[in-house]
Amino acid sequence: MKKTVPKTCQEESLFFRYNYMMSKFFALIPAAGFGSRMENNLPKQYLPLAGRPMIYHALRTLCRSPGIASVFVVLAPGDSEWLRHEWSEFSGKLVVLNCGGATRAMSILNGLKAASDASSIGGDDWVLVHDAARPCLSEAQLDKLMNELADDAVGGLLAVPLTDTLKRSDVSSRVEYTESRKGLWQAQTPQMFRYKLLVDALSRPGSLTLTDDASAVEALGLHPKLVLSDARNLKITYPQDMILAELILRAQQGGYGECG
Ligand code: CTP
Ligand code: MG
């Protein structure tokens, strides 16, 4: 497998840490959804954002990480949009799998199985599952997750403690009571677990409708670690989320080029 050559001292130490430890790191991007809440005919992972299709941004951050050996992208079997774009800059690490399923968890499980046919991924290797719909993941957030979990027995996820006050409503949208937000976090991605654990967790009955991977691991009685992230790693769900994502990306980029 071709490896990205480290350019700075910090990159070099990450490169050696991740490539010469027992477990390797892989990333998997589920991108087989349609984005029904975006109300656009184009699946949301392809909507233009800061001059690129949305998925480009997460793909770039993951492919540029010296610690990550390969990045698997899971597309819907009938996807006709992927090939309309140029992906050659990622050709050293990118593996495209056309095996998306009916739910996010099915796409991930199908992708994990196909990944083991397409690569040398082993049961103890780490897999970072990251949604195409979170384009603003920064290099710093990614490094923090990998560093904090590299020696962890279970794995974990980026997350943010809740800051808003929480209201429990009745059926007519009136406040029934105020919930305590103590100890409550919002789960983000990447979520990082060992390959075999993730396959086992997602293969259990009931897992395929869960909205994140950590929930499937929790159902095994395990306790994934919450790694402190921040609100910039937002998920794009509704059209208005694009405005904020565009601002965050522009600020992060300091201007990497537009689509040609
Ligand atoms: N996803 C997937 N396969 C599915 C459904 C979702 O790979 N059957 C992916 C999406 O492409 C996205 C991630 O899972 O990258 C998170 O899902 P979400 O934000 O819910 O995206 P969609 O399911 O596409 O959007 P919606 O729920 O609004 O339809
Ligand atoms: Mg969805």
Residue-wise pLDDT tens digits, 148-201? 999 999 999 999 999 999 999 999 999 999 999 999 999 999 999 999 999 999
Output the pTM of the full model.
Answer: 0.91
pLDDT of residue 257: 46
Judged against a pLDDT cut of 60, whether residue 213 lies above it is answered with yes
The angle formed by the CA atoms of residues 243, 248 and 250, to the nearest 5 degrees, is 95
To test the ligand 1 pocket, which listed residue (104, 188, 234, 237) has its Cβ within 8 A of the most ligand atoms?
104
Residue-wise pLDDT tens digits, 109-156? 999 999 999 999 999 999 999 999 999 999 999 999 999 999 999 999
Q: Which ligand is nearest to the CA of 106?
A: 1
pLDDT of residue 232: 97
Q: Which atom of ligand 1 is nearest to the CA of 132?
A: 15
Q: Is 79 in the pocket of ligand 1 (CB under 6 A)?
A: no
Q: What is the CA radius of gyration of the chain?
A: 18
Judged against a pLDDT cut of 70, whether residue 256 lies above it is answered with no
Judged against a pLDDT cut of 70, whether residue 71 lies above it is answered with yes
pLDDT of residue 26: 98
Q: Which ligand is nearest to the CA of 104?
A: 1
* Ligand 1 center–CA 159 separation, angstroms: 19
Contacts of 107-111 spanning 24+ positions with Cβ under 8 A? 107/30, 107/31, 107/32, 107/33, 107/74, 108/28, 108/30, 108/74, 108/198, 108/202, 108/213, 109/199, 109/202, 109/203, 109/207, 109/208, 110/74, 111/28, 111/30, 111/72, 111/74
Nearest Cα residue to atom 16 of ligand 1? 131
Judged against a pLDDT cut of 70, whether residue 215 lies above it is answered with yes
First and final CA of the chain: distance in angstroms? 29
* Ligand 1 center–CA 239 separation, angstroms: 15
pLDDT of residue 258: 44
